[in-house]
Amino acid sequence: MLMQEKIYGPQEFIYKKGQIDSRLIFIAKGDAEIMYERIFFSSTHQSYASKFKNSKIFRVGKLTLNEWVGLQSILKPEKKSHTLQCQTMTHIYYLTDQDFQHVLKQFPHEYYINSYTYQFKQSKSLFIKNQIQFSH
């Protein structure tokens, strides 16, 4: 089985802003909040320490039972732009990007069908968008 399980306690971080996390994460039990940090600059000559005094955390969403996050991360690992913190005891199941690639190699036909379908939908929506713009 390629899915792995991990249990987090209340207030534990599943990942933090700036970390590279290449997992597709499913919430099996519990709650996790999505938080963004915004740093407010009052001067270009602020010291590094004073920048943290002018930051604010925005809670923008919550993940609960059967919700997931990380689709972009599994396709293209990047630094996280937000933090995911557990609010309660939280059980997750996750799939790493390496395991995802392994699955794709086992079922290449399904991957190519889905890939071409996605590309077709993207090109079709772009074509329709261009038609609307040029008709006005």
Domain residue limits, the chain: 4-106
Tens of pLDDT, residue by residue over 69-107, are 998 888 888 899 999 999 999 999 999 989 988 888 887
Q: What's the pLDDT at 38?
A: 79
Is CATH 3.30.1520.10 the classification given to domain 4-106?
no
Please give the C-alpha separations between residue 53 and each of 17, 38, 44, in angstroms, as whole numbers: 17, 11, 15
The model's confidence at residue 132, banded by pLDDT at 50, 70 and 90, is very low
pLDDT-derived band at 128 (thresholds 50, 70, 90) equals very low
Joined together, the tokens standing for residue 135 give 């008709």
Question: What distance in Å separates the CA atoms of residue 108 and residue 35, rounded to the nearest whole number?
Answer: 36
Q: Residue 11 above 80 pLDDT?
A: yes
Q: How far apart are CA 39 and CA 18, in angstroms?
A: 14
The per-residue b/e assignment along 79-88, b for 16 or more CB within 10 angstroms, e otherwise, is ebebbbbbbe
What pLDDT band is residue 136 in, cutting at 50, 70 and 90?
A: very low
Facing residues of 93 across strands? Answer: 5, 26
57 pLDDT band (50/70/90 cuts)?
Answer: confident
Is the per-residue pLDDT at 135 higher than 50?
A: no
Q: Confidence band (pLDDT; 50, 70, 90) for 32?
A: very high
| Arithmetic mean of pLDDT, 32-41 | 84
Mean pLDDT of the chain: 79
pTM for the whole thing? Answer: 0.68
Give yes or no for residue 50 having a pLDDT over 70. no
